[in-house]
Amino acid sequence: MKIYIGADHAGFELKNTLISFLRERGDEVIDLGAHMYDENDDYPDFILPVAKMVSQNPEEVRGIVIGGSGIGEAIAANRMPRVRAFVFNGQRMPGDGSRVPDAVTLSREHNNANVLSLGARLVSTPQAKEVVVRWLETPFSGDERHVRRLRKIESSS
Cβ 85 vs Cβ 72: under 8 Å: no
Q: Is 110 a catalytic residue?
A: yes
Burial of 10 (0-12, 13-18, 19+ CB in 10 A): buried
Rounded alpha-carbon distances, angstroms, from residue 64 to 6, 81, 140:
7, 16, 17
Which one is catalytic: 35, 110, 130, 137?
Answer: 110
Q: How many residues does the chain have?
A: 157
Which one is catalytic: 24, 73, 109, 146?
Answer: 73
Burial of 87 (0-12, 13-18, 19+ CB in 10 A): buried
Q: Is 73 a catalytic residue?
A: yes
Helix/strand/coil (H, E, C) string of 62-98?
Answer: EEEEEECCCHHHHHHHCCCCCCCEEEECCCCCCCCCC
Rounded alpha-carbon distances, angstroms, from residue 92 to 10, 40, 123, 144:
22, 31, 11, 30
Catalytic residue numbers read 73, 110
